[in-house]
Amino acid sequence: MLTRILTGVIGAPIAIAIIYKGGLLLYVIGGIMVLIGAYEYYKVVGEVYNPIKNVAMLGIAIYLIGLNYFENRYISFIGIFLVILLIIKVLTYPKYNLADIGVTLTGVIYIGEIFSLVLLIRDMPNGFFWVCLIFVSAWGSDTSAYFAGRALGKHKLAPVLSPKKTIEGAIGGVIGAGILDAIFCGIMSFLGYWTFSLGWTVLIGCVCAILSQIGDLAASSIKREMGIKDFGTLFPGHGGVLDRFDSILLIVPFVYTIVSTL
């Protein structure tokens, strides 16, 4: 636990500084995180399946390099990439089966496309506020759920998938995230930064908290299916990139949709 806390204390200010700076620095660091996360994913699923990982990693790299171009063409990108995978399947038959194609494409979408939306959100109007809200909601929910679960947890949330998680912890996570989002909104306003209305910020934050918990369970389901505890070891006490950021992956499309419509 001490290692986990120290990593968070050191990492949080660095992450905030990078998000605040934005621009090329965020794109480079964010792109590296995406590629490391993709590597972790394909390494893990490769124990059971046979993903076309080199092509997938190249595809994700190309997507990141041309991110602003592909922003409104992601469906076309996925379609073209699927065609490429099917061509490879035909040319190398029977090396890859349909499940291999599926887990390969899942990695491109789940990590490559969704993760990279954070970079696009940061470039949108008031992007610093929205990206910070994503992390405050996700990590606030995670921390609040942990302590609420330890203090009040009695009823299992997902006994087979994640035995330690409780319904009380999940509820505490949402409430805690809402409170932290309100505090975050107040701090941003006090410092003179643009903020969304307090009520809507808390509401969006609570929805993000729910999505973060589902995202965490989704990642847990992959790890349990693969028979592992963590995706990687990059962050001491936390695991790999996917272990640290799995809770934001379902939040990002939700927030991106909201910001895109404002």
Query: 73 near 80, Cβ under 8 Å?
Result: no
- N- to C-terminal Cα distance for the chain? 40
Domain residue limits, the chain = 2-261
What pLDDT score does 88 carry? 97
Mean pLDDT of the region 71-80: 83
What percent of the chain clears pLDDT 90, i.e. is strictly above it? 76
Task: Kindly indicate the confidence band of residue 218, based on its pLDDT and cuts at 50, 70 and 90.
Answer: very high
Task: Kindly indicate the confidence band of residue 12, based on its pLDDT and cuts at 50, 70 and 90.
Answer: confident
pLDDT in tens, 251-262: 999 999 999 998
Task: Kindly indicate the confidence band of residue 1, based on its pLDDT and cuts at 50, 70 and 90.
Answer: low
Task: Kindly indicate the confidence band of residue 239, based on its pLDDT and cuts at 50, 70 and 90.
Answer: confident
